Amino acid sequence: MSFPATTRGRKALPGGRPRGAFPFRPVPLSWALPALLLLTPGLAAQDALLEEMRRALDEARRTIASLEARVAALEAQGEQDPLEAQLQALLGDEPDEPVQRTVFPSAGNPRIGVFMDAVVEAGQTEEKLGENGDRFSLRETEVDFRLPISPFAEGALISVFEDQGNGEYEATIEEGYTDVALGALLDNDWTTRARIGRFRVPFGHDNRLHTHDLPQVDRPYVISQQLGEEGLLGDGISLNMPIAHRETESGLGRTTTLDVAVVNGEMFTGSDSLLGELADDSGLTLDSDAPVAVARASRFMELDERSDLEFGASWLDGLASDAVTTDVDTDIRPRMLGADVTWRQRDDETGIGSWLVQGEAVQTDFDYQDTGVAGFPVGNDRTRGAAFTVQRQLSPNTYVGMRYGETDTLGSGDEVRDLSPYLSFYADEFFRLRVEAQRLELDEQGGNDTTAHRVFLQATWNFGAHSPHPYWTNR
């Protein structure tokens, strides 16, 4: 048996292919030569590109070296580059301290809060005391604008729309001021703040509260009969100065604060003021040519972790005899003294079961020169009054309280006493309901006594940004 010629003498591999046999056909030489010709231009192009990059790099190095040599020469000669000299001439000398320009993210976008107060009144005050009653009233709408205007000052505008009866409303500016941190302004560690503009003067406790912040529906009669229905508001400047602070080992603090203000005597001359109303009734017109000084010193003490006590003493006096004048060239000198105390006790962190006790007394003296007008007071007219409030928190949202007050009335010698129990329900931080009953006793100077009763139902709501609750609200 013989093998085929192609495999003779070779051992076969698995699969039938002889060992050493080439598995592919050889490439013809006619194919390889064109492929080499195609690759040769690509290699030449790459070499040319590399050579061009080397030349550019060498040129850049020579330019940098030339610039460095020029800078070194200028520095050695103390000369300034002409372009740099022109730029310095345009900019001028650089200030010792850079000018700081702060732009607040909220610039032009003030916080706006709206407070609305509606009251329903029913009772005997209209027929017995001649006061408007038995009516529904959107008593007051307050719009509060606040905006930081610099790193050391905040601006505030509080505009009020008040019900005047018969469907008429009056728009007034209750407060409009800038509150300035003097320490930040003068780069000092002072804690004094200045309020410039129109504001509630720092006299007493209740006078500094807005209507929607009152613990009762209305202001105590000692305030409305001696300071006015809305209290004392003036245009001027006020300083708030914490003058002493001490903290005991238990972490309880005690702070003494002094508030001082100088305001226009015009706050006594308008028709909305008690003195202005008294002058209108006598056919007189009041004016002011001098300011009035006001001061209040207060002492706040933490008695323990859940109780505190505050005392306050207030003073007001005209800085000149013509702080208030009449149109018949007579002077009226206003003087006031006040004292207030506030005690709060909380049973636990929720505030449930808390107690609040407030008291305030006011004495007012007006020295009148003889105007020669019948019915207008002559000499010294001194009035005194006081009011006390006791309040207890029954639940997280419910408070019950009682207010008692008695006061003389300016210019008449009459006396008024009021006893007012009330119940407040805070549905949430934006809505509150309150009901108040009131017994009024009027003792006229001639001996005619009158007693009247009335009931208030109040709804107060707000929307937008608003300040925290007063500290007697423990929610």
Say which amino acid occupies 458: Q
Using DSSP's 3-state secondary structure scheme, residue 356 falls into strand
CB 338 within 8 A of CB 363: yes
In a domain, 400, yes or no: yes
Angle at 292 between CA 290 and CA 296, to 5 degrees: 165
Domain enclosing residue 432, as ranges: 111-464
The alpha carbon dihedral of 190, 300, 215, 460 has a sign of positive
Say which amino acid occupies 70: R
CB 218 within 8 A of CB 456: yes
For residue range 12-25, what is the model confidence (pLDDT) as tens digits? 444 444 444 444 45
pLDDT, residue 350, reads 73
Q: Is the pLDDT of residue 309 over 80?
A: yes
Cα 196 to Cα 180: distance, rounded to the nearest angstrom? 8
In a domain, 62, yes or no: no
Domain count, the chain: 1
- For residue 94, the tally of other CB atoms under 10 A from its CB is 7
* Sequence-ordered alpha helix ranges (H) in 339-467: none
- For residue 320, the tally of other CB atoms under 10 A from its CB is 13
Cα 199 to Cα 234: distance, rounded to the nearest angstrom? 6
In a domain, 17, yes or no: no
CATH of the domain at 224: 2.40.160.10
- Of all residues in the chain, what percent are helix, strand and coil, respectively (each to 5)? 20, 45, 35
Q: Is the pLDDT of residue 459 over 60?
A: yes
Q: Is the pLDDT of residue 195 over 90?
A: yes
- For residue 347, the tally of other CB atoms under 10 A from its CB is 14
In a domain, 155, yes or no: yes
In a domain, 1, yes or no: no
Contacts of 441 (CB under 8 A, 6+ apart): 416, 417, 418, 449, 450, 451
In a domain, 470, yes or no: no
CB 240 within 8 A of CB 192: yes
Q: Which helix (H) or strand (E) holds 399?
A: strand 398-408
For residue range 407-456, what is the model confidence (pLDDT) as tens digits? 998 877 789 999 999 999 999 888 999 999 999 998 887 777 888 899 99
pTM comes to 0.73
Percent over 90 (pLDDT), the chain: 41
In a domain, 64, yes or no: no
For residue range 62-119, what is the model confidence (pLDDT) as tens digits? 888 888 877 777 666 655 566 666 666 666 665 555 555 555 555 567 889 999 999 9
Percent over 70 (pLDDT), the chain: 80
CB 364 within 8 A of CB 318: no
Cα 165 to Cα 418: distance, rounded to the nearest angstrom? 24
